[in-house]
Structure 1
């Protein structure tokens, strides 16, 4: 019997990804710093929030569309930029095609395994993400390449620190995949023939280089090493970046009210309340707990997005009700990519859309723009206002 490739929940996509992927690859998707308490809180906090549905006056048609970073999108869910995607041979190109087919915005990491030109060709609504890595001239070259490729916005990620230890142990990620490495990893890889077969059909091994970081493309650890050697940026550097890009500009990683205000002063057009999916300092509060205070402080001046813990469309609705213009998803679509390639990513986006539409319907609204705090049951002590 052939199993239905379609799945009903993100949890099922995760289960299939775990079954299909070698431990080292699946473990990298679960990555969280130290004990992973922030990873858990990112997800668990959404379960502490409730809905306040209406019983009469529902709308037969709901509008889920909006604009983010100057780009129209069929719903307020963006593809968050994630690094080298060894879960599938087509990697970021498959994700970009899926996003384009569903009318949503693609975020492309500078640590991606596919060139920015190929990704933009698959989805013209692409935002390019960079780290503060290398000198200013190097950073400008990367930005200009993204601009020339047709990227519509820039995402600067600052919510990634040197806190990379994990109490449960980190999966082994090789510098490069050569014959010697493949032999060493065989006990982990061979029990997962489906993953191996996908790459075998392409005639190439998983690519662990980062073509958007330079020519020739450095390995992931080569790019990571450059970032580690770079002096961290100042607010003056952020202002310089925003001016240099001179277009829609999202600062990813804000968790404090005072930092949100500084971001506005620096000239950014959007920010993402994010803790890098729990890969920054562990025990940082869940992003949904931090969102209301930041949205109240700067939401009337710039676009406020949320990243972290989104697993269903109802989570999206809760974030919008608490002040987000849109959310970014990461692990969810990577599990979909691992489970069923491009179709699996489309499947995850459809799950998000269905859950969001159900929430908008049940709450008695005609569009996502009508969602607000009155739609949510917020427990006492739920929110955190850092740096207020």
Structure 2
């Protein structure tokens, strides 16, 4: 691409050119037929705006607060693994970009930089994402290291008792890189002659017995607030409130786990209504435009998390690329708010969007 990208999606093509096929396929791919992967993005196109006119929009305020921490816009960095496969500086570059944009980064359990390296790279609010390992002591050690390093919340990914079937990784025999966070705890080296070595490692490490009762165990090893990532139903949203978590992230793991689950934007409102304002609901999955951010906020999310676009920005242009991705989405959100007649994030309400269900109801 001869010119500077003008939107987030153009970073994906640059990343494809920059990365080895194995790594690009790992970041970009989804589970099985990749229906949910595609639907996460396409479902946004079926939501229409209902803008207001003749509103004084000379001053737009994008700032918001998550768990008491103020951020410059409702756009956060989702937990994504192994950033050094995309760029030599890895998660440190991503953390610096997020800090420059005055937003929250959720560091992945599968980070290729250590919890400590990221914490010391810049001054910012950060959360730490955790998978629960079969050896609970390993997860406990990492959670406690994150707490000592000043991370402000724990994000429990709950939709991965086993890794989803990612066929590109199987064909490419995706490697399982050494993860520095696990040094002295366990080896991530896997001997496997066929298929994805990463999947072989993950399925040997992830604890399939993890259940709602284990939230009490997680609370017992940390004083940090806990958010659950991977909620897609009203029933699970109610359970999350009942076990006392601090927040929910509506997510289908970017279409990388169970294929043919709904796009996250299509179930967001159901989860928000079930929660009833008792805890914050965040959103993850398919964000590629500032218009997407607005739609998620209108349907009840307090903020969105972006995953693949961050990776593509990192692969294409390092720290600068990540910063530009966040800035592009923020600038597009500001324009969308202006043209819809919303002067602050708090003014973005359900009345500004029309979903497919609304259209069907109007025909009855």
TM over 0.5: yes
| SS of alignment partner, residue 296 of structure 1 | helix
Deviates more, 1:151-160 or 1:54-63: 54-63
Check the 8 A contact 1:274/1:308 in 2, yes or no. yes
Residue 103 (structure 2) aligns with:
104
1:294, distance to aligned residue in structure 2 (A)? 0.6
CA gap 1:114/1:299 in 2 versus in 1, 3 angstroms? farther
Q: 2: CA distance between counterparts of 1:260 and 1:164?
A: 22
Residue 183 (structure 1) aligns with:
none
Deviations 1:32-88 (A, max 9, x none): 111000001100000111111222113211111111133221111111111112010
Q: 2: CA distance between counterparts of 1:23 and 1:371?
A: 40
- Do structure 1's residue 268 and structure 2's residue 231 form an aligned pair? no
TM-score by length of 2: 0.90
1:166, distance to aligned residue in structure 2 (A)? 4.1
Q: 1: CA distance between counterparts of 2:96 and 2:239?
A: 36
Deviations 1:281-302 (A, max 9, x none): 1000000000001101114110
Q: Counterparts of 1:254-265 in structure 2 under 5 Å?
A: 254-265=231-242
| SS of alignment partner, residue 253 of structure 1 | strand
Q: 2: CA distance between counterparts of 1:151 and 1:8?
A: 33
Deviations 1:332-352 (A, max 9, x none): 111101110000000100111
Check the 8 A contact 2:31/2:256 in 1, yes or no. yes
Residue 50 (structure 2) aligns with:
52
Check the 8 A contact 1:110/1:210 in 2, yes or no. no
Q: Counterparts of 1:207-286 in structure 2 under 5 Å?
A: 208-215=177-184, 218-219=187-188, 221=198, 224-228=202-206, 230-286=207-263
- Do structure 1's residue 143 and structure 2's residue 143 form an aligned pair? yes
| SS of alignment partner, residue 348 of structure 1 | helix
Give the superposed CA RMSD.
Answer: 2.1
- Do structure 1's residue 121 and structure 2's residue 140 form an aligned pair? no
Q: 2: CA distance between counterparts of 1:306 and 1:149?
A: 26
Residue 342 (structure 2) aligns with:
365
| SS of alignment partner, residue 127 of structure 2 | strand
Q: Counterparts of 1:303-314 in structure 2 under 5 Å?
A: 303-314=280-291
Deviations 1:281-325 (A, max 9, x none): 100000000000110111411010111000011101100000000
- Do structure 1's residue 68 and structure 2's residue 45 form an aligned pair? no
1:382, distance to aligned residue in structure 2 (A)? 8.5
| SS of alignment partner, residue 235 of structure 1 | coil
CA gap 1:217/1:209 in 2 versus in 1, 3 angstroms? farther
| SS of alignment partner, residue 359 of structure 1 | helix
Residue 160 (structure 2) aligns with:
160
1:241, distance to aligned residue in structure 2 (A)? 1.3
CA gap 1:58/1:243 in 2 versus in 1, 3 angstroms? farther
1:223, distance to aligned residue in structure 2 (A)? 5.4
1:213, distance to aligned residue in structure 2 (A)? 3.2
| SS of alignment partner, residue 356 of structure 2 | coil
| SS of alignment partner, residue 172 of structure 2 | coil
| Paired residues, number | 349
1:362, distance to aligned residue in structure 2 (A)? 1.2
Check the 8 A contact 2:229/2:249 in 1, yes or no. yes
- Do structure 1's residue 132 and structure 2's residue 101 form an aligned pair? no
Tell me, which stretches of 5 or more residues in structure 2 are unaligned?
190-197
TM-score by length of 1: 0.85
Check the 8 A contact 1:133/1:226 in 2, yes or no. no
Residue 87 (structure 1) aligns with:
86
1:227, distance to aligned residue in structure 2 (A)? 2.5
Q: 2: CA distance between counterparts of 1:63 and 1:343?
A: 24
Check the 8 A contact 1:79/1:330 in 2, yes or no. yes
Residue 355 (structure 2) aligns with:
378
Q: 1: CA distance between counterparts of 2:91 and 2:359?
A: 36
1:343 pairs with one of 274, 297, 320: 320
Q: 1: CA distance between counterparts of 2:346 and 2:137?
A: 41
Deviations 1:166-185 (A, max 9, x none): 45664525546xxxxxxxxx
1:8, distance to aligned residue in structure 2 (A)? 1.1
